């Protein structure tokens, strides 16, 4: 499932020169020393997630959909998406099943900051996915290695279909070509933090998506 056309609207492209100062919007004071710029304010994030929920509902119509939330990164995105999908179902008088079923997976393909192709999956029994439409909910596609391996892993459960919704897709030469069916934003090849994105388990409580500064990388002991 690489280099595919999206089922939803085309992603919003965040240009390489798009930036808001950390002083322009409200951010936790303790994080200012790590931040280069804000690139997606929270208001734009929330509006875009609502549009993605609409596109997903439109694509699946009145079908049973099993959503896989990839912990921990996708939690904020999944939660916002859940709220909008549930809201949309309130106004669908033809609905005969819940807007979606939730499943949570802990997927790991990296140690520290280095990606590997060794996939580890921790989850409940996924045999219930047999013959079902499955939607993987991810926060970011960077190299694409994790999602490529996860799709292979899921085939043992014989789902009817497997699609992907990602909040962001990074424009990077490291990509293996993996894309998604529903994409929120196209990001420059920079280290992003905030909302869904962490670094060493920090920054997920920030409301906006920001880029990590050179000073922030030094403070966190990151190389490269």
- Bridge partners, 158 (sequence order): none
Q: Is 142 one of the annotated active-site residues of the chain?
A: yes
**Ramachandran category for residue 177: left, alpha or beta (phi over 0 → left; psi -120 to 50 → alpha):** left
Calculate the CA dihedral of residues 69, 111, 185, 63 and round it to 10 degrees: -20
Residues 6 or more apart in contact with residue 53 via CB below 8 angstroms: 81, 84, 85, 87, 88
Catalytic residue among 142, 181, 198, 214: 142
Over its C-alpha atoms, the chain yields an Rg (Å, rounded) of 17
Catalytic residue positions, numbered: 142
């Amino acid at each position: 499932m690489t280099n595919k056309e999206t089922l939803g609207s085309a992603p919003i492209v965040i240009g390489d020169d798009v930036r808001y100062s950390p002083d322009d919007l409200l951010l936790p004071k303790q994080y200012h020393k790590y931040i280069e710029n804000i690139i997606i304010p929270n208001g734009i994030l929330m509006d875009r997630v609502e549009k993605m929920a609409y596109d997903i509902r439109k694509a699946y119509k009145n079908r049973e959909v099993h959503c896989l939330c990839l912990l921990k990164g996708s939690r904020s995105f999944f939660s916002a998406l859940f709220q909008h999908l549930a809201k949309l179902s309130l106004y669908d008088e033809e609905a005969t099943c819940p807007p979606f079923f939730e499943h949570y997976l802990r997927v790991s393909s990296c140690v520290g900051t280095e990606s590997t192709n060794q996939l580890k999956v921790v989850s409940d029994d996924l045999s219930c996915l047999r013959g079902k439409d499955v939607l993987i909910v991810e926060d970011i596609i960077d190299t694409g290695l994790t999602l490529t391996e996860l799709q292979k892993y899921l085939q043992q459960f014989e789902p009817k279909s497997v699609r992907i919704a990602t909040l962001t897709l990074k424009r990077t030469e490291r990509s293996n070509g993996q894309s998604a069916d529903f994409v929120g934003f196209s990001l420059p090849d920079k280290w992003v933090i905030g909302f869904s994105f962490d670094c060493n388990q920090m920054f997920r409580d920030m409301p906006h998506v920001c880029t990590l500064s050179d000073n922030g990388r030094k403070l966190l002991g990151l190389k490269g």
